[in-house]
Every structure is written in C-alpha cells, then in structure tokens.
Amino acid sequence: MQLHRRVLVTGGAGFLGSHLCDRLIEQGREVICLDNCFTGDKSNVYHLIAHPRFEFMRHDVTMPLYIEVDSIYNLACPASPIHYQHDPVQTLKTSVHGAINMLGLAKRTGARILQASTSEVYGDPEIHPQTEDYWGNVNPLGPRACYDEGKRCAETLCMDYHRQHKVAVKIARIFNTYGPRMHPADGRVVSNFIIQALRDRPITVYGDGSQTRSFCYVDDMVEAFLLLMDSPDGFIGPVNLGNPGEFTIRELAETVVELTGSASKIEHRPLPQDDPKQRQPDIALAGRELDWQPATSLREGLKPTIDYFEGLVREGVA
C-alpha cells in the first residue's frame, strides 16, 4: 500500500490548500478536502469535484472530526490581516481548537500531521534574516496577535503532542506566498497591487514603501509541503519555507506596474499598526533537510498571477 494514501487537507478550498490538493491528486493519493468556506471557495476545487479520489467536506476545524486518515495537512486558518481581524476570536479558535482537534485526530489514527505555521511567529523581527532558533518579537495584545499568538500556540501544541503522545508532527513556517487563486479581496500586497494596476487605479503603498518582504511562488511552496511531509520521522522542524529574495514594497509596486504595462501611479497611505519593517527567511535548514529551494523568481511568478487576476477582472469578479 502506498504511504500516506488517505490525505486530509484542512483549508483545502483556500489558496494554498487547493494547489496542494491538485498535487496530491496528481500523486495518486486519496484527498479529503475540508473547508468551512470562510475565505476559501469551492470554485478553487470545482475541477476536482468529480475526481474519484477527491472528496469535499464542509466542516469547521474547531469542531471534532472522526474519520480515518494517514496524513493531515492542517492549513485551515484565515491568512490575511483583513480576514483574520474580521473575527479575531474565531481566528484564535481556528488556530488553537483546530490544532487540538487535528492533533487529536492524528493521535487516534496514527497519522502524520503537517501544521501550517507562519513567519508571523517572528513578529516584527529584531534579527535579520530570520532563522528557526529565533523566538520572535510579537506584541501579544495588538491587532495581529489573534493570528500570531494563535499560530505560536498551535506550534506549542504540536511539540507537546509529539513529546507527550508521540504524534509525528511537521511544522512549516510559511513566508509570504502568492500565485493564482489568491483571494482578490484579501488586501494582500500582491493581489492589491495587481488589481489596482490592471484597472489603472493608484497603487496604494503603505508608509514610505521601504519595508521589505520576500515572496514565494505557490508551486515552490507546495513542493516544500510535500517534501516536508515525506521527510524522515526524526525531522520535525520548525522549518522556514519561503523565497529569500528580498524586495521593498516600492520595488514590488514598480515591478507590477511594469509587467502589467499599467498607467497607475504610486500613492502613499498610512502604515498599519505593528506592520513588520522587514522579513526574509533563512532557508538553510530547508536546503539541508529537504534538499529544497524555490525555483521561481518574482518576475516569473508574477506573470501567471497577473494572468489569473486579468481573468477575474474580465469576468467582473475582482
């Protein structure tokens, strides 16, 4: 029998989850895609619905789930500030109760579980680039805390279920990822800038645009998830996954304007509270343990992303 044949993907109708479902189906796995459709949409997996090895399940991870699976990718959680701040208590419940339920499921079934953590566990980092042994600089009381602290607690739960109950866990610290099927209204910088450029509207740069981010294309990230899940038992992480290429937000704005051939001009808006000034992953550990590094440059990845949003703008969806 093939290893990890029955795979549960929570948040499977979301941006990253739907691409992961695509790859798992390609690999011949049986995929259960679980989602409460808060920020994700069934349209992201419509093309898989009729597939004999694919099953969509509408369910909230804050509720217990009794099914039989061999591995679990726990991705369920709103990921953009607009969405996770919409109902902060539910965001915390999703990260914390969701992790408890999925770890409980892993414990009962003996499944491996990969937890989608985030670079936000580093908060506004004082060391640069961030390595996995850095404990972070998170404001536990601010508007981003429901997400950051929820994800930190989920990591703690993973480690404790591993130490106490021998659950096989893998912790992925995901840095900003972009690509087709990003939510058009999630307020993320890549989707905002592309849609603004395609409509020849002002590009809204928050602050002076000197803050930096590193952007990973979705196909590279999904590849890393698969490698991490199949890595030897002894490797738990946490492991940084992202593209170390670092860009200022102003550079991103200029690149998007150039690639879309847009007439848009840059306009500055106030910087949101607790907005990290810089973020860049150190991915040496992923290189060593998973033999992984991203293959797609920002320019290469922006092209299919722009094509995707062009389609949405044409259909009047974005």
By CB under 6 A, name the binding residues for ligand UDP. 64-66, 80-81, 100-101, 104-105, 107-108, 176, 187-189, 192, 204-206, 211, 213, 249, 271-272, 275
Nearest to 226 by CA among 186, 286, 276: 286
Rounded Cα–Cα distance for residues 162 and 193 (Å)? 41
CB of 134 to ligand NAD, least distance (A): 16
Interface mask toward ligand NAD for 179-218; x: CB under 6 A = ----x-----------------------------------
Residue 226, both tokens: 């698969």
First and final CA of the chain: distance in angstroms? 44
Of the residues 7, 21, 31, 77, which one makes contact with ligand NAD according to CB under 6 A:
77
Question: Which partner from the list ligand UDP, ligand NAD, none does 213 bind, CB cut-off 5 to 8 Å by kind?
Answer: ligand UDP
Question: Which partner from the list ligand NAD, ligand UDP, none does 85 bind, CB cut-off 5 to 8 Å by kind?
Answer: none
Question: Which partner from the list ligand UDP, ligand NAD, none does 205 bind, CB cut-off 5 to 8 Å by kind?
Answer: ligand UDP
Q: Is 147 a catalytic residue?
A: yes
Catalytic residue among 84, 147, 161, 308: 147
Question: Which partner from the list ligand NAD, ligand UDP, none does 168 bind, CB cut-off 5 to 8 Å by kind?
Answer: none
Interface mask toward ligand NAD for 37-66; x: CB under 6 A = xxxx-------------------xxx----
Question: Which partner from the list ligand UDP, ligand NAD, none does 272 bind, CB cut-off 5 to 8 Å by kind?
Answer: ligand UDP
Stretch that binds ligand NAD, among 71-79, 193-201, 262-270, 309-317 (CB under 6 A): 71-79
Task: Kindly list the catalytic residues.
Answer: 147
- Residues of the shown chain interacting with ligand NAD in the complex, contacts defined by CB under 6 A: 10-11, 13-17, 35-40, 60-62, 75-79, 94, 98, 116, 118, 174, 176-177, 183
